Structure 1
Amino acid sequence: MAEPRLGQMNASFGEGSVVLRWWEWGPADGLPVVCVHGLTRNGRDFDVLARDLAARGRRVLCVDVPGRGVSGWLPRPELYAVPVYAQCLAPLVAALGRHDWVGTSMGGLIGMAMAALPHATMRRFVVNDIGPFVPAAAIGRIQAYMAGAPTEFADAAALEAYLRRVHAPFGALSDAEWAHLARHSARVAPDGRTVLHYDPAIGGPMMAGDPADIELWPLWEAASARPTLVLRGEASDLLLPETAVRMAARVRVETIPGCGHAPALMEASQVALVADFLS
């Protein structure tokens, strides 16, 4: 299958605008699926899933959230927060109309915010390893790995080795899959250095202060009113077993073996689980 098409629009966030770009797969007249990645990732994480969905006739838009990949950067660190991301994605979602949403970690939180809006047009919702309760200990782990992220890498192999270490909970990925993630996680800076593809300031509010629990149960009650599938890595420290049990009172929850936070959605059974639910 051909490589994805690159789409873009200017997205407003209250005090200005930013260039929002996404990787688009499948027929332009297919029922849209919006895929949104985690905190330090990008839209190319969804290539395997997007190819499968596109082959089923779906139009798939894999967004690079502002500050990541090929989207523009926000002017101040404190703007890197879910409410601002929701503002930035709102015009795209409005243009799409009826759509499905697949959100990994941060992408799931953004999806909750979008789904809870009045007159939301989200049809089905896949939440990948995040919930309305996130424990302080998991926030602290994320703070630590972001604070310790190298500012540059000797070469692409060094960057891949770093990703294999910090994202080991993604699961047992193949060498080709790790190479794919590394290729789309690298950016060559103007001075020739190999760096990560995101704005170093994306930690924003998360990096400010001591870690604390996040509780969003009222938001979840509204967001989960539509058919929803929750995926939980069996060793996840962000989506705890007791949180998943509480979520399962309203929606379908599936535990993915052999991984933690978060399932990479590259393995065939994971792709089939999502694609069958969205069908």
Structure 2
Amino acid sequence: MGTPFVPFTYDGADGVRLAGRLYRPTEGTGAGDGGRGVAVPLVCLPGLTRNVRDFEPVAAHVATAGRTVVAFDLRGRGRSAPADAATYTPAHEAGDVIRGLTALGLARVALLGTSRGGLVGMLIPAFAPGLLAGLILNDIGPEIELAGLLRLRDEFTGRAATDDAATPLPLDWERATALVARRFASIYPRLDAPGFARLARRLLKDVDGRPAPDFDPAITAGLAALTPETRLPNLWAQFDALRAIPVLAIRGGLSDLLSEHVVAMMAARHPDFVEFTVADEGHAPLLEDAASLAAISALLARVDAAGAAR
């Protein structure tokens, strides 16, 4: 979107080169460590196979309002290097994020996590108590719907109802965009042609003018073992540990990973919880519409207010 950012890199504990983007505030008070009168920085973590480009609309909106934004490419995605497949876990990725925030000198942040990024966010307080001042969960919660994971399994393994997921990428962006539009038509039924072109650029990287995958295929290997009988773990204990900070759950109205029932359970268990539904979007909401951006801004204002009262 043309919003200026500073790329940064750092090393994980195992030496893997990791990367991200730092968006400096363009107006207002700036950002720091969440002290009195200071805008708490926003940290953005993408989904399972996604990257920092997913947060360009959020970064443009939030940085313009005077807040620092940091977006991480988790290991094996985007500009972060591939790693040992055994380290593609939310716990290991939480360690990477904490290490990156330490390198940037950020001691207290709000966090926006989409899907896998939200799971990572819920784990961070166990490793770094006091780091999170607020949490935004984009279409993820302490319980995940197995049906949604089975859909993702089928997409990544080529077992979907169409062959699109297993089709080799076209050699030009026009045909790649058409493929993305077919694959995601039911998830984003209101998205227009320019919207699908933006989505294609989020999903895929440009290599000498040609679209290419932007993640290590080993990241999705664990999905192949899922069956309709799989019993999934939950993160209710980790969610309950967030009771002292404001939490916003953004849910896609068409989501098959985060159910309304789970959101209701989250609301019942958390004293400072807000839910926002994005109509006519599935997993995961794109966070580029005005209403979603306003909900994010409202949560960040509550985080700042809570910090000022400390």
Do the aligned residues in 2 keep the contact of 1:135 with 1:214 (CA within 8 Å)? no
* Match of residue 262 from structure 1: 284
Quick one: structure 1 residues 49 and 118, their matched pair in 2 at CA, closer, same or farther if it must change by over 3 Å?
closer
The structure in which a higher percent of residues are strand is 1
Matched, 1:158 2:156: no
Relative to structure 1, the CA distance from residue 174 to residue 60 in structure 2 (aligned partners, 3 Å threshold; closer, same or farther) is: farther
Aligned equivalents of 2:216 and 2:64: distance in 1?
Answer: 33
* Structure whose CA Rg is larger: 2
**How many Å apart are 1:178 and its aligned residue?**
2.5
Aligned equivalent of 2:47: 38
Paired position in structure 2 for 1:114: 124
Normalized against structure 1, the TM-score is what?
0.89
- Say which is worse superposed, 48-57 or 144-153, in terms of deviation: 144-153
Which residue does 1:131 correspond to in 2?
141
Structure 1 residue aligned with 2:200, among 163, 182, 198?
Answer: 182
Identity of aligned residues (%): 32
Distance in 2 of aligned mates of 1:35 and 1:171: 25
* Structure 1: distance between partners of 2:191 and 2:49: 18
Q: CA deviation at 1:221?
A: 0.9
Query: What is the CA-CA distance between 1:40 and the residue it aligns to?
Result: 1.9
Structure 1 residues 276 and 32, CA gap change in structure 2 (3 angstroms): same
- Once the 2 structures are TM-superposed, how far is the Cα of residue 102 of structure 1 from its aligned partner? 0.5
Give the aligned partner of residue 231 of structure 1: 250
Deviations 1:54-74 (A, max 9, x none): 011111011111111111111
Q: 1:161 to 1:241 in 2, by over 3 A?
A: same
Residue 273 of structure 1 aligns to a residue whose secondary structure is helix
Kindly provide the amino acid, as one letter, of the partner of residue 271 in structure 1: L
Q: Which runs of 5+ in 2 are unaligned?
A: 32-39, 159-164, 302-310
Number of equivalent positions: 274
Q: Tell me, in whole angstroms, the C-alpha distance in 2 between the residues paired with 1:203 and 1:193.
A: 23
Whether 1:253 and 2:275 are equivalent positions in the alignment is yes
Deviation at 1:49, TM superposition (A): 1.0
User: Counterpart in 2 of 1:204?
Assistant: 221
Cα distance change, pair 170–84 in 1 and its aligned pair in 2 (3 A) = farther
CA RMSD of aligned residues (A): 2.2
Name stretches of at least 5 consecutive residues in structure 1 with no aligned partner: none
Query: Once the 2 structures are TM-superposed, how far is the Cα of residue 47 of structure 1 from its aligned partner?
Result: 0.6
Task: Return the TM-score normalized by structure 2.
Answer: 0.81
Q: Which residue matches 2:20? A: 22
Instruction: Give the corresponding residue for 2:236.
Output: 217
Runs of 4+ in 1 over 6 A off after TM superposition: none
